[in-house]
Structure 1
Amino acid sequence: MLASLERLLRWTTGLLAAAALFAIMWLTVVDVSGRRFFSQSVPGGLELTEILMVVVIFGAMPLVSWRNEHVVFDSLDAFLGDRIKAVQARVVHLICAATFALLGWLLHTRAQRFAEYGDTTVYLQWSIAPVAWLMAGLLAVTALVHLLFVFVQAPDVRRSGEPT
């Protein structure tokens, strides 16, 4: 079951983040080439890059959480027993789940306010609300990943990317 969930995350949030990063790459190539050869940048290029960076960062969060690839302070782990480490991991996952859920809820309420006020980007005049809703949804997925690991031991993932 965990392998299926990992595959689902890779094909949804992972692919979303990868596609956004690929789009940033090509947007940058076109923008720099346009400035160099035609003295014209991509209209709204900065706004597009900002939106795509949000997609990269928030799209990668569920996978980073799934693979336990966060920054970790583990200087006391040598002194803790395996049972204490297991309890500690579950408590940390519970705190992370609650934190990401709270942040997702706050961002969802902010997105609703953006939609009500009709907030848009400055140059392209695109609505900001869908981007904020996407961020809130990806935070909720990240919270669910952490909540799952409160009850199920997180898979041990090797550097090669395959679960052990």
Structure 2
Amino acid sequence: MLKTLERMLRWSAGLMAAMALFAIMWLTLVDVTGRRFFNHSVPGGLEITEILMVIVIFGALPMVSWRNEHVVFDSLDAWLPDWVRGIQARVVNLVCALTFASLGYLMSTRATRFAEYGDTTVYLQLSIAPVAWLMAGLLVLTALVHLLFVFVEVPVPSPHHPAPAQLEEPAP
């Protein structure tokens, strides 16, 4: 089951973030080349880059959380027993789930407000609401990943046993 969830995350949020990063790369290449050789940049390039950066950052959040690759303060872990680190990991995942869910809720209220007011980008006049809804959805997805790890045993990194890059399913 965990492998299936990881595959779904990789093919949804991970692929979306990767495609957005690839688009930023090409947009930057075309923009710089246009400015350098044709004295003309891509119209609205900055706005497009900003939207794509949102997709890269928020699309990567569920994958970073799934792989437990966030920044960790672990200077006391060498002195904590494994059972304490297990409880600590569940509490931290619960706090993260609540935090991301709250941020997702706040972003959804902001997205609703953007849609009601008809807010758009300055140059290209693109609606901001769909971008904010995407941010809210990805924040909620990240919250669900952390909530899953409250109830499902996650390999807890220790000084002697680092966390694996991918979660393994138990043998039948």
Shorter-chain TM-score bucket reads over 0.9
Whether 1:18 aligns to 2:22 is no
Map 1:1-164 to 2 at 5 A. Answer: 1-154=1-154, 156-158=163-165, 162-164=166-168
Deviations for 1:42-93, whole angstroms, at most 9, x for unmatched residues?
0000000000000000000000000000000001111111111000000000
Query: Is the partner of 2:59 in helix, strand or coil?
Result: helix
Q: For residues 126 and 20 of structure 1, what CA distance do their matches in structure 2 show?
A: 17
Residue 141 of structure 1 and its aligned partner are, at CA, apart by: 0.3
Residue 140 of structure 1 and its aligned partner are, at CA, apart by: 0.3
Taking only aligned residues, the RMSD between alpha carbons, in angstroms, comes to: 0.9
Q: For residues 46 and 94 of structure 2, what CA distance do their matches in structure 1 show?
A: 37
Instruction: Structure 2: give runs of 5+ residues left out of the alignment.
Output: 156-162
TM-score, reference length from structure 2: 0.91
Matched residue type, 2:102: L
Deviations for 1:102-123, whole angstroms, at most 9, x for unmatched residues?
0000000000000000000000
Q: For residues 154 and 28 of structure 2, what CA distance do their matches in structure 1 show?
A: 37
Residue 157 of structure 1 and its aligned partner are, at CA, apart by: 2.8
Q: Which of structure 1's runs of 4+ aligned residues deviate more than 2 A?
A: 154-158
Q: For residues 90 and 124 of structure 1, what CA distance do their matches in structure 2 show?
A: 45
Q: For residues 83 and 154 of structure 1, what CA distance do their matches in structure 2 show?
A: 12
Q: For residues 16 and 122 of structure 1, what CA distance do their matches in structure 2 show?
A: 25
Matched residue type, 2:23: A
Query: Is the partner of 2:127 in helix, strand or coil?
Result: coil
Residue 37 of structure 1 and its aligned partner are, at CA, apart by: 1.0
Matched residue type, 1:126: L
TM-score, reference length from structure 1: 0.96
Matched residue type, 2:116: E
Identity, % of aligned positions: 75
Query: Is the partner of 1:98 in helix, strand or coil?
Result: helix
